[in-house]
Structure 1
Amino acid sequence: MAEPVTFTAAQDHRNMMDQLHIETLRPGANGDENAPDHANYDEAKANPYPDWPDILKRDNGQPVTTPDQWWQQRRPEIVAAFEREVYGRVPAHVPAVTWRIKASEAETLEGLAIVATHLTGHADNSAAPDITADIDAMLIMPAASKTPAPMLIMFDWSPIRFPAPLKPEPEPANVDPRMAPFLAAARAGMLERLQHLLGDGWGVLLINPGSFQADNGAGLTRGIIGLTNQGQPRKPQDWGALRAWAWGASRALDYLSTRPDVDKNHVGIEGVSRYGKAALVTMAFDQRFYMGLIGSSGEGGAKPHRRNFGEAVENLTGEGEYHWMAGNFLKYGGPKNAGDLPVDAHQLIALAAPRLIFISYGIPKEGDAKWLDQQGSYMATVAAGSAWKLLGAKDLGVGNDYRTAQMPPPLIELMDGQLAWRQHVGGHTDTPNMASFVQWADRHMGRKTSSK
C-alpha cells in the first residue's frame, strides 16, 4: 500500500483541477451585500436559465407517464447524473461497519425518563490501518415506550457526548465516568427538538458527521473517503463529503434496523444548513428512509443551481466547499456553467417521492440569510411535486409551474400531502418547525401526536 497522501485543501483542489484539465474557475459571489462582488439579490436577474430539466421526460425526450417508467427508466437516469456530475459515486468496496455500545444509562429530559446509549460504528480499516473512520453516535430512547418507536436520525456537528443530566441539576453519584458533558447545543435548540420528539414517543439518533468525514478538502484522503481510497486523492467521479455523510446515516439505519425497540419502517433523517443538504442527499439515494426534515439547505440542497440568487455554483466549486461535491462538479464553475448541469435541485427532491419530505426555512431578518434563496427552494419544491402526483401521492397542492410559483408568507404552511413546505419566523435552524414536522409525520404514520 502506498503512503497516505497529505494535502492541504488548496493542494487537493488543484489536484482535482489538474485531473479535469481546468486552469481557472470563476470566483464565487460574496455573501456580504455591501461588497462590490456581492451575490445577486434582484429577482429580475435571478433566472438566467429559466428552462429546468423536465422531471418527467427521459433523456431521449420520451415522456414519463406511468410509475413503472419512473422506477425503471427515469429515476435511474436522474440518479446516474447526480452521481456522475454532482455528488459522486459511493464505491462498491466501502469497508463494512461494526457497531458497539460504549456506554448506556438511564436519564431524564425535562422529567421524561429516557435511556441514552453512546455508540461507535467502526469502519473496517484493516486495508489502511493508518486511517480511521468511526461513526460517533448517541441513541436516545423514551424509557416508557411499549411499542417500537419511530426514529429521527439527526446530523449534529458537535462531538457526541452525554452527561447526566441533560439540563444542569445535581449530578448523580453513579454517572458512568466514560460519559463526558453533553454537546452544548442540547441545552438550547437541540434540547427543544429532543423534547418534541422524545415527548411524542419518538427515538433520536444523533450522529457526528465530522467523526467519519472531515468538513474540509484536506480531509479527503482521510475519513471514510480516504479509507476507501487507501489514502490516495479522489478521482473526478468519486464521492464528496455530502455523499459520505449520507453513507454514515445509512449505516446508522442498518444498526437501528437490528433493534426491537425501533420501528424500522418509520426512520427519518434531519439536518440543517450543510447537513440539510446531506439529509436531502440521504433521502435521494437511500429509499429505506421513510421521511426527511430538510432545514435551510440552500445551494447543493433544495436551492436550484440554475438560480442566480445568493450562493451559486461557483461558491461550491471554490476551495472552501468543493469537498462536499464530486470532483466533476468543478467543471460547472468553469469552463461550463449552471445551465449545463444535466440535473438540478427539483430533481434531487423528486428522488424522494413518494416518501415524506418536509422542506424547512426561516427568515432572513432573523439570520436565515437571503443567501439560501428561500424563493428558489420553494420553486424547486413546487416543481418536484410532479413526481409525487405521478406516484399517487399528494404534493404541495399548488400546481407544478415553478416559473410562476410565489412563496407563501412565513407560517403559511403547505402540509396536506407527503411533500411539505413551511417557513418559520426564526433564524438558521429548524427548531421552530419541529413540532409541525412531528405532527405531520405522525398523521401519515397513523399515530396520535402529543407534540406541542
Structure 2
Amino acid sequence: MKKNTVFLLLAVGVATVATAQPSTIDSSKYPKLVTFTAQQDHDNMMQQLGIKKLRPGPSGDATAPNHANYDETVANPCPQLPDILTTKNGKKVTTPESWWNQRRPELAADIEKELYGSIPENVPKVNWTVKITDREFIGRTPAIVKQVTGHVDNNAYPLINVDINMIVVLPTNVKGPVPVLMMFGLPSFPAPAQPSLAEMEKLNAAFKEMMIKYDPSLKIIFEKYPVYNPITRLAGPNFFALPAIENLSPTEQLLAAGWGYATIDPNSIQADNGAGLTRGIIGLVNKGQPRKPNDWGSLRAWAWGAARGLDYLETDTMVDAKKVGIEGVSRYGKAALVTLAFEQRFAVGLIGSSGKGGATLERRVFGEAVESLTGTGEYHWMAGNYLKYGTEESSFGKKTGCDLSVDSHELIALCAPRLTFISYGIPEKGDAKWLDQAGSYMATVAAGSVFKLLGVKDIGVSNDYMKEKMPPVLTDMLDGELAWRQHDGGHTDAPNFKFFIPWASKFLKYNKAQ
C-alpha cells in the first residue's frame, strides 16, 4: 500500500467520525425546512412585493445592446441627493444632539427598510469556543494564533446549525492590548508551529512503523534509505531574506505595526447566494422559511456576524476592544461599510472597492446599476424591499434608484465620527469602471458634512458633490477621520494598507510599544 493511500485511509477515517453521527432530531416538531433555488426564492419575493417584471441589469460587454453606461453626461438622472442634515419633517439639523437623537435614527431606519433589512429582535445568542491556540512566527513577528468558533444557539430550530469561523492573530512582541483589524475572508493559519527536531524523530519513527505495518515491502525501502524521513519540517522564516517592511503583505504590515488581525468567514454566517436564504443565520431565525420584504439580506447578516466576532474580541485581554476595525473588498467592502455604519463599537473601517450597494451612489447610472443587484445573482445581499427599485411593472407601478429616499452618502454618514477610509484602485489594473469610483467619491464628499457637524475632519473639500471632482490617482486625502485614496493597483485594497495603518494609528492614538 502506498503512502498516499495510507493518508487517504486516515483522512476517510477522520471524516467518518465527524459526519456519521446519528440524528436524534424529530423534524416533525418544527416547521418544514424550505428548500428553494435562487430563482424560486427570487420569484417568491417578487410575488410578495406584487412585482410582475424587473428591468434587466446592464451588461459589462461594451458591444451588447444593453451595455452599461460610462458617459458622465447622463450618469446623474436625479442629481439632487436626499439632504443628510434635513429631517423627514423638514427641520434642519444644526447640532450633534439633533443628529444623534433624531436624524441618525430615522436615517438608519430608512436604510434598513429600503436597502439592507433589519436584524430581528429574536436572533439567538452566540457561544464562542477557542478550538486551537498556536504560537507562530509570521515574518519578523512572533504571534499567538487562535482558531475560534461561535456556535449560534439553535435550540429553537435545531434543523439549521450555524458555526461562525474566525482566526485571530495577535503579536506577542508588544506591551499592552493591541488594536485589531477584522477582515472578511477565508480564515487560515498563517504559519503553523512545528514540532521540535526530537519530536519529529518520534513522529517519523511511528509513521515508518505504521507504513510498514500496512505494507511490509516498504521496510526494504526504508532500510535502503536509512536517513530519509517521510515527514519533514517546513522552511522557517529567513530573517536575512525577508522583504522590506513596505513590501510585506497587509497582514504582516499590521503585525509589524503592533496591530493584530482577525479573519472571519462570511459564508459560515450566511451563504453568498439566494438559495441559502432559508439556511444560515437568516434561515435559522426564520425557522427555515423564506424572507419577508423587510428581512435582512446577506450583507446585514455578515455585519451581524462581525459584531458577534467583536463580542469575542472584547473577552480577549490581549485586544484593545475600543480600537477594533473592519475591512473588506468588493462585496465584502459593502459588508464592511454596512458593519461600520450599524455596529458602532467598531472604531475604524477600511472599505475597499465596494461599488453599488456599498459606497457608490445608488441613483447613479454608471457601470453597475440598481438593476444589477435586483436580479437573481446578487439580490440576496439586500433586503427584499430593494427589488422595488428595479421594477418595470408592478402593483405600485415603476420605480428606479431615483425613487430611493436614502442613498450611500447617508450610509457613510452613519459611520461618523468614527474613522472611515474609502479605498479604490484603477480600471487599468482591474478595479473596473463598473464600480463607479467617481460615484463613491461623490458620496464621500456629501457625507463629509456630518463628520464636520460632529466635530471631526472630512476629506478636506467642500461638500458640494456636484462641483467637487475626483482627484488624481495616488492623491492622499488622509487628514481627517473620513479619508479617501485611490491607489494604482487593481481590485484590492492591499496597496493602501501602508497608508491606512499609520492613518488609523494616528487617530486612534496608538503607538507600538516594544
Matching of residues 97-176 of structure 1 within 5 Å:
97-156=126-185, 158=186, 160-162=187-189, 164-165=191-192, 173=200
Q: Please state how far the C-alpha of 1:301 moved relative to its aligned partner.
A: 0.3
Deviations 1:308-357 (A, max 9, x none): 10101001100000000000110000121101101000000000001100
Where do 5+ consecutive residues of structure 2 fail to align? 1-29, 204-233, 235-245, 392-397
Equivalence for 2:219: none
The answer as to whether partners of 1:368 and 1:427 remain within 8 angstroms in 2 is: yes
Q: 2:423 aligned to 342, 360, 365, which one?
A: 360
Whole-Å Cα distance in 1 between the matches of residues 353 and 476 of structure 2?
16
Equivalence for 1:71: 100
Equivalence for 1:15: 44
Aligned length: 433
The answer as to whether partners of 2:119 and 2:295 remain within 8 angstroms in 1 is: yes
Q: Are 1:393 and 2:456 matched, yes or no? A: yes
Aligned AA (1:128):
Y
The answer as to whether partners of 1:109 and 1:165 remain within 8 angstroms in 2 is: no
Matching of residues 52-451 of structure 1 within 5 Å:
52-156=81-185, 158=186, 160-162=187-189, 164-165=191-192, 173=200, 192-334=249-391, 335-448=398-511
Whole-Å Cα distance in 2 between the matches of residues 83 and 369 of structure 1?
28
SS in structure 1 of the partner of residue 338 of structure 2: helix
The answer as to whether partners of 1:109 and 1:166 remain within 8 angstroms in 2 is: no
Aligned AA (1:359):
I
The answer as to whether partners of 1:442 and 1:449 remain within 8 angstroms in 2 is: no
Root-mean-square deviation (CA, aligned residues, Å) is 1.9
The answer as to whether partners of 1:150 and 1:203 remain within 8 angstroms in 2 is: yes
* CA shift in 2, pair 1:300/1:86, >3 Å: same
The answer as to whether partners of 1:120 and 1:136 remain within 8 angstroms in 2 is: yes
Deviations 1:31-71 (A, max 9, x none): 12232211000011110010100000011111100111100
Identity of aligned residues (%): 60
Larger Rg: 2
The answer as to whether partners of 2:134 and 2:192 remain within 8 angstroms in 1 is: no
* CA shift in 2, pair 1:211/1:401, >3 Å: same
Where do 5+ consecutive residues of structure 1 fail to align? 176-180, 182-188
Whole-Å Cα distance in 1 between the matches of residues 272 and 247 of structure 2?
21
Whole-Å Cα distance in 1 between the matches of residues 293 and 257 of structure 2?
44
Q: Please state how far the C-alpha of 1:388 moved relative to its aligned partner.
A: 0.4
TM-score (norm 1): 0.93
Whole-Å Cα distance in 1 between the matches of residues 414 and 191 of structure 2?
41
The answer as to whether partners of 2:138 and 2:191 remain within 8 angstroms in 1 is: no
SS in structure 2 of the partner of residue 117 of structure 1: strand
The answer as to whether partners of 1:220 and 1:323 remain within 8 angstroms in 2 is: yes
Whole-Å Cα distance in 2 between the matches of residues 418 and 230 of structure 1?
41
Aligned AA (1:36):
P
Whole-Å Cα distance in 2 between the matches of residues 219 and 365 of structure 1?
35
SS in structure 1 of the partner of residue 306 of structure 2: helix
Whole-Å Cα distance in 2 between the matches of residues 405 and 14 of structure 1?
41
TM-score (norm 2): 0.82
* CA shift in 2, pair 1:191/1:22, >3 Å: farther
SS in structure 1 of the partner of residue 335 of structure 2: helix
